[in-house]
């Protein structure tokens, strides 16, 4: 399936640096110009998407999930 | 209250570029080295944290909220 | 940007039935074979994606966001 | 405890098809008229709710967690 | 619909103290033994559930949505 | 890094009672005046924050993640 655009406004393009695979969920660490972005997704998705170290991916989050802290 | 560290691993430091204030929630757009990050928080929080255009903030998300798309 | 696949495993294809537009976020109601699916996204995204009543869309959620209740 | 109604508007009734149990979280796959819905919940909840293959359940998500992609 | 139990382990029972209604989403402030708990839900849900100041409700969150900060 | 204030309005201060460590995510159970609060965070965060049974922490959630059920 090809998707032309998504509403997740916060997108970070990068390359997978590391995958820590668990029995149910896996941690996917993505090197982006913004620094390391970490995602936890189902291990089944890791396999379905054929994610590997080096894969080019986009990490994204909904704006409603982003918290703000003041310095 | 001062918090020494949080578990939200995905943190993006930046400056508020724009605030669109609604009656209940507001959109806060933050300029970061990673590009524009958008957060939707309660308008009450905008006031409590005294957020203004130019405020230095950190946008952060939990790893479980980050989705991954393959290019 | 074209995305070949996303890890959001729970996808519901349908047609937009109604959009309630607010100053910051909007409610988008989507008619799917599974019934009505409701999404709240930023009004800016509604405009960026040029969503209108009748648009064909996919609603999706991360597996970690899905709760389970027993009958 | 009996709950008469919840605000999670997006509800999918179905039967559990598979449970992949991990040490902390488990994947619960639910067969619904809308197709397969996947949830990740704590393994403790799987036990507390006595979820088993064949259990009748409702999968639900908050509208703020639903993303929209345009085809 | 009556639900016997949900997997959302973090439940806070209380009484609604205030509702700030917006065109799309509303803020619902709930007085609980744990202090004030704030929820943002669709205004449609506020109406569907007939929520009013004084209504007895349960606020709940999934464990995967709870962040941890160290003092 | 010291953060002066965060927008997550729902904060529960307490002490860690139990940690169930998995290969990717861990369950952190926190004793608070509001009762037991359960969080699922990455195991890497558990180590980075040096969380242990007895650690004083704050559990917090965004208002948009809080669901409401009527009794």
Nearest to E37 by CA among F30, D63, F62, B39: F62
Looking at residue D35, its pLDDT comes to 84
In-domain check, residue E34: yes
B8, B41, F1 from F4: Cα distances, Å: 15, 17, 10
Nearest to B66 among A45, A50, A61 (CB): A61
Reported as a pLDDT band with limits 50, 70 and 90, residue A6 is low
CATH number of the domain at E29, please: 2.40.50.100
Residue A63 contacts D where some CB pair is shorter than 8 Å: no
- Whether the CB of F49 is below 8 Å from some CB of chain E: the reply is yes
Q: Is the pLDDT of residue F1 over 60?
A: no
- Whether F31 maps to a domain, the answer reads yes
- Tokens 């992609």 map to which residue? D69
pLDDT in tens, F2-36: 455 665 568 899 999 999 999 999 999 999 987 88
* F48 Cβ under 8 Å from any chain A Cβ: no
Query: What average pLDDT does the segment B24-33 reach?
Result: 95
Predicted local confidence at residue F62, as pLDDT: 94
Provide the residue range defining the domain that includes A46: 24-61
The pLDDT-based confidence of A48 (bands split at 50, 70, 90) is: very high
How far is F59 from F13, CA to CA, in rounded Å? 6
CA–CA min distance E3, chain B (Å): 27
State chain D's mean pLDDT as an integer: 89
How does residue B34 score in pLDDT terms, banded at 50, 70 and 90? Answer: confident
pLDDT tens for each residue of D4-44: 556 556 889 999 999 999 999 999 999 998 788 999 999 99
Residue B3 predicted with pLDDT over 70: no
Low-confidence ranges of chain E (pLDDT < 70): 1-9
Q: How is D23-61 classified by DSSP, letter by letter?
A: SSEEEEEEEETTEEEEEEEEHHHHHHTT--TT-EEEEEE
Does B30 lie at the interface with A, CB-CB under 8 angstroms?
yes
In a domain, C42, yes or no: yes
Total count of domains within chain B: 1
CA D68 to chain centre: 20
| Contact call for residues E46 and D25 (beta carbons, < 8 A) | no
Confidence of residue C33 (pLDDT cuts 50, 70, 90): confident
Across residues C17-21, what is the average pLDDT? 98
> What residues in F contact B25, CB-CB < 8 Å?
64
CA distance E47 to chain D (A): 10
Cβ–Cβ below 8 Å for A71 and F22? no
Biggest CA–CA distance in chain C, Å, is 42
Check if D66 contacts F (Cβ < 8 Å).
Answer: no
Which tokens is F39 given? 């969080």
Strands, E, within chain C: which ranges?
A: 5-6, 10-21, 25-32, 35-42, 56-61, 67-70
In a domain, F40, yes or no: yes
Q: Establish if B38 belongs to a structural domain.
A: yes
E-contacting residues of B 10-29, CB under 8 Å?
A: 22-25
Q: Is D23 in Cβ contact with F71 (below 8 Å)?
A: no
Q: Given an 8 Å threshold on Cβ–Cβ distance, is F5 in contact with A69?
A: yes
pLDDT for position C28: 97
What confidence tier does B31 reach under pLDDT thresholds 50, 70, 90?
Answer: very high
């Amino acid at each position: 399936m090809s998707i032309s655009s998504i509403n997740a406004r916060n997108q970070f393009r990068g390359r997978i640096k590391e995958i820590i695979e668990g029995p149910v969920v896996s941690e996917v660490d993505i090197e982006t110009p913004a620094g390391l972005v970490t995602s936890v997704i189902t291990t089944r998705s890791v396999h379905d998407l054929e994610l590997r170290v080096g894969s080019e991916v986009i990490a994204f989050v909904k704006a409603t999930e982003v918290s703000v802290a003041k310095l």
